[in-house]
Amino acid sequence: MSSNTPTSSSGGAGSADSSAARRNSKRPKYSRFTQQELPACKPILTPRWVISAFMLVSIVFIPIGVASLFASRDVVEIVDRYETECVPTRFRDDKVQYIQSAEDKSCNRTITVPKRMKRPIYVYYQLDNFYQNHRRYVKSRSDKQLRSNESADDVSTCDPEDRTPGQNPIVPCGLIAWSLFNDTYSFSRNNQSLAVNKKGISWKSDREHKFGKDVFPKNFQNGTLRGGASLNENVSLSEQEDLIVWMRTAALPTFRKLYGKIEVDLEANDVIDVALNNYYNTYSFDGKKKLVLSTTSWLGGKNDFMGIAYLTVGGLCFFLAMAFTIVYLIKPRYFSNYKDLTYLTVYDLNE
Amino acid sequence: MFRRILATKNSRQNGVVSTTIVRIRSEDIRFNGLVLSSDRASSAKKMSGWERLRPSTARLGRDSYSSMTERIPSSRTVRLGRVQPQAPGHRTIYCNDRDANLPVKFKGNSISTTKYSFFTFLPKGLFEQFRRVANLYFLTISILSTTPISPVSPITNVLPLSLVLIVSLVKEAFEDWKRFQNDMAINNNPVEVLHDQKWETIPWKKLQVGDVVRIKQDGFFPADLLFLASTNPDGVCYIETANLDGETNLKIRKALEKTWDYLTPEKASEFKGEVQCEQPNNSLYTFAGNLIIQKQTLPLTPNQVLLRGCSLRNTEYIVGAVLFSGHETKVMMNAMNVPSKRSTLERKLDKLILTLFGTLFVMCLIGAIGSGVFIDRKYFYLGLFEDVENQFNPDKPFVVAILTMFTLITLYSTIIPISLYVSIEMIKFIQSTQFINKDLHMYHVETNTPALARTSNLNEELGQVEYIFSDKTGTLTRNLMEFFKCSIGGEVYGTGVTEIERGVAQRRGIKIDEGQESTNVVHEKGFNFDDARLMRGAWRNEPNPDLCKEFFRCLAICHTVLPEGDESAERVTYQAASPDEAALVTAAKNFGFFFYRRTPTTIYVRESHLEKMGKVQDVSYEILNVLEFNSTRKRQSVVCRYPDGRLVLYCKGADTVIYERLAVGQDDIKKVSREHLEQFGSSGLRTLCLAYRDLSSDMYESWNEKFIQAKSSLRDREKKLDEVLIKMRMKWLKTDCGFMQVAELIEAELILIGCTAIEDKLQEGVPACIETLSRAGIKIWMLTGDKMETAINIAYACNLINNDMKQFIINSETDAIREVESRGDQVEIARFIKEEVKKELKKCLEEAQHFLHTVAAPKLALVIDGKCLMYALDPSLRVMLLNLSLNCCSVVCCRVSPLQKAQVTSMVKKGAKKITLSIGDGANDVSMIQAAHVGIGISGQEGMQAVMASDFAIAQFRFLTDLLLVHGRWSYLRLCKVITYFFYKNLTFTLTQFWFTFQTGFSGQRFYDDWFQSLYNVIFTALPVIMVGLFDKDVSASLSKKYPEIYREGIRNVFFKWRVVAIWAFFSVYQSLIFYFFVSDSSSNAQNSSGKMFGLWDVSTMAFTCVVVTVNLRLLLMCNSITRWHYISVGGSILAWFIFIFIYSGIMTPYDRQENVFFVIYVLMSTFYFYLTLALVPIVALLGDFIYQGVQRWFFPYDYQIVQEIHMHEPEGRTRTELLEIGNQLTPDEARSYAIAQLPRELSKHTGFAFDSPGYESFFAAQLGVFAPQKAWDVARRASMKSRPKIGQRK
């Protein structure tokens, strides 16, 4: 790279002109801008630069990749898929009917801890084929209503779950709130119950700014069709953290949401009994339900993606750097003069 | 003749005469195409200067009788604008009587050229904006986005659209404001009008029809005036029409004798005339009307009309009455709407936009089908109950698909880059106003003219020009003849070096030093000769002083020049029909043979140094006969009698004709002179051979008898002039022949004196420029109205043709054609010439194709003359001509009319689909300039018309190098980058959205927040690309000129081919996939130790951040030079995004919006995930481009990249000084002799004969007082020289 030093052959003379002589002259004034001589660096991707760039990327990326992969490996994650197992065998042919019936929905699952899990252990539920990002779904909420009690009537965007048949506004309105997930989990180890802390599972900004302390559920789930969980009408929305978590809609049709935290360590080979109530209807659209117990690292949950991506890119760059170096050593390339101009050899106008 | 047509039309006196004349008119028009003979036919009786300029202006005749002449190959001068149908009837103007004119309500004299007024600006301006498809599209999208089917809020589309509209409207307003100010300045010019017997000064705009005004010298006429009186005797005045047609020579107007007296205010106020004239029209050279004064009806002609825009010269003042005012003046009615040209690149851009529309449609279609398939009641959480709206009604999947289609169109509207057009416009505007107009390399000091881009539409077109059509006179040459060298008795005199020799020397690396011209060198107009052996009488010591004496006498005697002014050597000026002759006579003067006076029978020469140095004596030579120049004779002779009775015939002419007529013997001198002629010729000089013959008085007497006889038969013809002209034409040809035969008798047995070499002074740097341009792959055609010899000569001089080239010459001046012509049957002539042309073309084409298949084939050149060209341009032969000419490196078309120039241009433009550029300086080039893709006018010289019609105006031909190779190439490169980058960034952005659609059940949910999407184009990615459009520079200006070859990349359009677009598109897809899937897949887990999950808006903000960062960095990756403005704009754009998102997601606004993005950036930034992704995704995304660019440059480099690498390690400044020091040092003499020695000689047949004499065709006519205008454009150019009929000097 080199920096351009503008010449003064034309410019110097121009700027040195006395202004008197120039009064009638249409001679353009010299400036680096108009003469297009602004100092510039001229990056040229010569082989050397290409190879160095690749080397640099691989040197930076491979350690990051290794670090994140280790972080991800440290995380212990238990996934239990239960949507089929929790349907009694006799109902397995028509799960939708089962879930909509008044049958007992309780279900017991057993999970073995493969490795020691340090607290806090996060409990997630994971849904599949659930389009929380569908346009009709995403917009069916009223942020104003959620935020303050005065806007309780602001349900214009909540169609079709805006008002009760008696035209009373539903709080919280909209499809999102209406379809609130309502499976419940309780855990016990050796018949000793493990408390699930449901506080602090939502982002603080949501809790404090988006859901009002003075907003209480009203007319919720009073319709003919129940979409999901009901809410305690005596608890303000800002404390209904399940709702807050649910209403931060997911980006993809497969998503995890935080259910709660277990604030004790779990030892390897511990057997955890999960008593769950399988209320939520994912059967009509063939959605899966999973229960996830996971620890976290500095990087978050178990996710090899980042580490693998970094390692792959770093490795690829290293490989490319090597390959280019070999080519460069075997067949060095430099231009010296006119004869290299391609037009001399492959000039074809009809191209 | 024209006047007569008008007269007959006006007075309707004589129907018979009228029809006769009309028939002639139509014939005349048709023959005008047959260039040669028609001009003679169109001659009429002595015309005054004005009419002579425009021999074929009878639009009346043409319009009324166009049915008779279906195909008119007109060679007429170009008119401004288009013919407008005349309003029926006529108008009556009462001069000097405002009240009488009141009822008619003539238009006032104020003019307005603005496009908008205060009130119409908004509606009209908006209308103009929405005529653009892109804007209309976005308007539709904006309207769509207010409906519920839109996934985005209207702001997404309205905001960018309004920004674009505001920028465009502000620009329009600014331009219109400038026009308005200009109008105001014009309208407020003062003019003196007659009021109460006094001259009163009022502004132009207050002037009314019928007012009597006084215009002083050098003043402009404020309106079209009826010329009443002038301070000059004979009621004439001189006007300059530079504003109308660009000619600076003066024209004469003559008032009607009846009105001569109305000069003083007292007298003028008595003037009460009534003018009945035609309705306002745009024909500059016609006027029909009558002046009724004192119950007398006087016909008015253009001769009494002074047009607005012209200025008064050489006349103290004139008095006139206003005929047409304001917008009704002829010049305003001609207000030229220069056909707006769009560049090829932009037309290709349209195709790209169409492709994008296609892509958009396909994407929407896929989404729409998907949505129809997806929608189902089973997704109970979507609340699809019985009365769901149509958009999501599972019972009507088809309706869902259709509506989703519209939804998706609004969602994906970003694929069309809305700000592209306005960005391009801005870039081009700055490029043309700041870079082209202010380039010091294109500033011409002598004429104080910088380059001027009159349109900013075509900057990038300059980078793709493949064919240049150039005018000769004024463009390549200065139309300045200088006596440069001579050869006397086998000895070469003159030490100058011509441009072409200099060019040759430079190519061979010799430096010719010119610093040391001897101080006593005489250099005046027409004489640029330096050789001490001849000057100041030194010739007497030369080996052959007698021959020298004859040489000088021949120069001083054998010519038709008139001396003017003082009879002193310093102050005399020569009036010559051709600049060559003036140069020769000037040369004689400088050699000590000063021709100072001419009477019809005598030439007076002041001879010095004859016997003794410094001695002066006046000698008078009796001129007995003059046998003048003519294209077939190619020679001119004078028979003169010395005071001592010696009878000598001096003859000068083309080497071929002179050599034929030389007396036997003289072989040595013939051989040596021949060599000299060839040498001169290949140096681009125009040569003439001089010879003399001593006559015995007996012989002369007997010859003279025959001569007088032949002459008298010519006189007969004069009487027949008023008879039918067709007959006369034939007779003319015959008498011509007889006359020439007589001349033949005496021009024989000549003794060769030597030859002269005149330099047709080329514009500075022309050969070098042409050389550079042809290395750049540009083919240059010279289109000129000049004779073939002159044209070839100049072609040699400027390196278009050289002796290594195979030349094809297609000429109509062959014996066979001449013979058929002399028979006079027009149909037969046409048929015959066509056959000949066809035969020639076929032969040449075969030969050319033969060369195509041979190795080491010579370069080809084609020379064709106008008459042949007329037939070759016929549809049946056109393909052949095109094939032939495209195989030739250079083509010279001589004797072509302006129309043919345009035809040739459009043949290549349309037939070969190549990008063409025309360059010219005169009115005759206007049509060619307008026909080509890019028109260039030479400015800073006389005349503005070419400039007015052009797209760019430069002062010198050589500035083309800078204009094309530097500005054009850069503009092309920049624009290509800008367009492809716009394409890339919008496609990438939209595709991420598209991938998201697949995972939302094809519902058309937006991925990004409304504001992200609307600001993406106008803020976050807008500025850097403009920096590229302004500052990107692959190689420096000096390298661009040093390696013209890299220009070829533009000709081949390598930077904006579909392949390039496809590569960009490929990487767009790749990058968008990376953006979407890397970000979304890695986000499905908890992202920090708190275990909380991201929502949709976190992911999209992350993805958007990656897009903004990557897209901006991608720009840096494609830059060839990175200035600090790049850093500022790229850094600024990324920073702008972060600042925006910090503020935007940090606040809650009271008005209704979904708080989707509230706090997302803070949430994101609290995770490691954010930083890891931000480091990973852009690098992965750019990796593909990086590998591609590295491999491309490494293994398949472009030429410019090679040049970059050759000069990689030099700072830019040094290369320029290196350029100045090319070559090693030789002493001047060595260099000169080397340069001359290097010139090809043996092969040469070209001896450089050329004699530019526009009057030569008309010699006989002139002798008889008949003026035959030759070519309108030629005559126009030199009209000033012929303001006096030549007849005077003869009698």
Strand intervals (E) in B911-1001? 916-920, 934-938, 952-954
Angstrom distance (rounded) from CA B300 to CA B318: 17
Q: Which of B39, B211, B471, B1252 is catalytic?
A: B471
Let me know if B211 is a catalytic residue.
no
Do the Cβ atoms of B181 and B116 come closer than 8 Å?
Answer: no
| Residue of chain A with shortest Cα separation from B1220 | A9
Categorize the per-residue pLDDT at B1275 as very low, low, confident or very high, splitting at 50, 70 and 90. very low
How near does any CA of chain B get to the CA of A162, in Å? 11
Q: Among residues A134, A178, A133, A159, which one has the least CA distance to residue B387?
A: A159
- Per the CB < 8 Å rule, is B1180 touching A313? yes
**Mean pLDDT lowest among A269-283, A308-322, B726-740:** B726-740
Chain A residue with minimum CA distance to B1084: A255
* Residues of B with Cβ-Cβ distance to A313 under 8 angstroms: 1176, 1179-1180, 1183
Answer whether residue B31 shows pLDDT above 70.
Answer: no
- Lowest average pLDDT, out of A48-57, B520-529, B664-673, B1049-1058, goes to B520-529
| DSSP labels, B344-407 | HHHHHHHHHHHHHHHHHHHHHHHHHHHHHHH--TT-GGG---TT--GGG-TT-HHHHHHHHHHH
User: What's the confidence (pLDDT) of residue B302?
Assistant: 83
Contact A349 B1051 (CB under 8 A): yes
Show residues of chain A in contact with B777, CB under 8 Å.
343
Residue B997 has a pLDDT of 93
**8 Å CB contact of A258 and B380:** no
The residue among B1093, B1121, B1160, B1174 with the most chain A CBs within 10 A of its CB, best to mutate, is B1093
Structure tokens at B269: 């106020």
Torsion of CA A202, A204, A209, A212, to 10 degrees: 50
Residue of B nearest to A5 (CA): B1213
d(CA B384, CA A160): 8
| Mutant choice from B375, B380, B1118 vs A, greatest count of A C-beta within 10 A | B380
Residue B1201, chain A, CB below 8 Å: the answer is: yes
In this structure, what token pair is assigned to residue B568?
A: 């002193």
pLDDT of residue B1278 exceeding 60: no
CB pairs under 8 A between A and B: 316
* Sign for the pseudo-dihedral over CA of A272, A278, A280, A281: positive
Q: Binding site annotation covers B387?
A: no
Tokens 């309105």 -> residue: A173
Q: Say yes or no: A5 contacts chain B, CB-CB below 8 A.
A: yes
pLDDT band (50, 70, 90) for residue A12: very low
Instruction: Classify A45 in phi/psi space as left (phi over 0), alpha (psi -120 to 50) or beta.
Output: beta
Q: Enter the pTM of the model.
A: 0.79
Asked if B1169 lies within 8 A of A306 by C-beta distance, the reply is: yes
Q: A313 and B1098 in contact by Cβ < 8 A?
A: no
Query: Hey, are the CB atoms on A7 and B1213 less than 8 Å from each other?
Result: yes
B123-134 pLDDT tens trace: 888 888 887 777
Inter-chain contact A160–B1187, Cβ cutoff 8 Å?
no
A15, A30, A35, A203, best to mutate vs chain B, most B CBs in 10 Å: A203
What's the pLDDT tens digit per position in A185-197? Answer: 999 988 899 999 9
Is residue B247 very low, low, confident or very high in pLDDT (cuts 50, 70, 90)? low
Residue B338: pLDDT band by 50, 70, 90 thresholds? low
Mean pLDDT, residues B359-380: 91
B106/B99 Cα distance (integer angstroms): 12
Cα–Cα distance for residue pair B1017/B417, rounded to 1 Å: 8
Taking the CB of residue B622, how many other CB atoms lie within 10 A of it? 15
- Mutating which of A3, A4, A24, A36 best tests the B interface, going by the most B Cβ atoms within 10 A? A36
Q: Answer for the pair B1105, B1020: CB distance below 8 angstroms, yes or no.
A: no
Cα B9–Cα B1282–Cα B626 angle in degrees, nearest 5: 115
User: Rounded CA gap, B1056 and B1079, in Å?
Assistant: 32
Identity of the residue in B1082, B1120, B1204 whose CB atom sits nearest the CB atom of A306:
B1082
Contacts with B1094 from chain A: Cβ below 8 Å: 248, 251
Q: Do A299 and B1190 touch (CB under 8 A)?
A: no
CA–CA separation, B1148 vs B929, rounded Å?
61
B1176/A313 Cβ within 8 A: yes
B206 marked as binding residue: no
pLDDT of residue B714: 57
Span B192-199, average pLDDT:
86
Question: Percent of chain A beyond pLDDT 70?
Answer: 88
Question: Would an 8 Å CB–CB cutoff place B1146 in contact with chain A?
Answer: no
Say which residue, B349 or B90, is predicted with more confidence.
B349
CB contact under 8 A, A205 and B1162: yes
On the question of pLDDT at B1255 being above 60, the answer is: no
Q: Which helix (H) or strand (E) holds B979?
A: helix B969-998
The response to whether B895 counts as a known ligand-binding position is: yes
Q: Does B370 touch chain A (CB under 8 A)?
A: no
Q: Which of residues 434-463 of B touch A (CB under 8 A)?
A: 434-435, 437-441, 443, 445, 448-450
CB B1103 within 8 A of CB B1161: no
Return the sign of the alpha-carbon dihedral for residues B638, B642, B648, B650.
negative
Mean pLDDT comparison of A154-168, A286-300, B934-948, highest-scoring range:
A286-300
Region B691-715 average pLDDT: 81
Contact B408, B364 (CB under 8 A): yes
Tokens of A46: 């010569």
Mention every residue, 6+ apart, whose C-beta is less than 8 A from residue B1039.
B1203, B1207, B1215
Chosen for mutation from B963, B1085, B1122, B1155 (greatest number of chain A CBs closer than 10 Å) is: B1085
Between chains, do B378 and A296 touch, taking CB under 8 Å as contact? no
Rounded to whole angstroms, how far apart are CA atoms B479 and B1072?
62
Sign of CA dihedral A318, A321, A327, A329: negative
| A258–B1092 CB contact, under 8 Å | yes
A193–chain B nearest CA distance, Å: 22
- Contact present, A255 and A132 (Cβ < 8 Å): yes
Alpha-carbon radius of gyration of chain B: 37
Write out chain B residues lying below 8 Å of A298, CB-based. 1088-1089, 1168
Give CA separation, B576 vs B579, B643, B1252, B1253, B1280, in Å: 6, 25, 11, 9, 11
Q: Do B1084 and A256 touch (CB under 8 A)?
A: yes
Q: If you measure CA to CA, which chain B residue comes closest to A313?
A: B1180
- Quick check: A4 pLDDT over 80? no
Tell me the shortest Cα–Cα distance from B1191 to chain A, in angstroms: 9
Considering only the beta carbons, identify the residue of A25, A143, A309 that sits closest to B1078.
A309
B658 min Cα distance to partner chain A (Å): 47
- Maximum average pLDDT range among B516-520, B711-715, B948-952: B948-952
Reported as a pLDDT band with limits 50, 70 and 90, residue A245 is: very high
Q: What average pLDDT is seen over chain B?
A: 78
Q: Specify the pLDDT at position B1263.
A: 34
List, for residues B547-585, the tens digit of each pLDDT value. 888 888 898 888 888 787 777 777 787 877 677 888 888
Query: How large is the ipTM?
Result: 0.91
Instruction: Note whether B1185 and A63 are within 8 A (CB).
Output: no
- The string over B231-250, giving b where at least 16 C-beta atoms fall within 10 Å of a residue's C-beta and e elsewhere, is ebeebbbbbbbbbbbbbebb
Output B136 or B1257, whichever has higher pLDDT: B136
Contact residues, chain A, for B1210 at CB < 8 Å: 2
- Going by C-beta distance under 8 Å and a sequence separation of 6 or more, which residues neighbour residue B605? B553, B556, B557, B588, B593, B594, B595, B596, B618, B619, B620, B621
Q: How many other C-beta atoms can be found within 10 angstroms of the C-beta atom of residue A25?
A: 14
Partner residue opposite B435 with nearest CB, options A36, A47, A305? A36
List, in sequence order, every residue forming a beta bridge with B226; answer none if it has no partner.
B305, B321
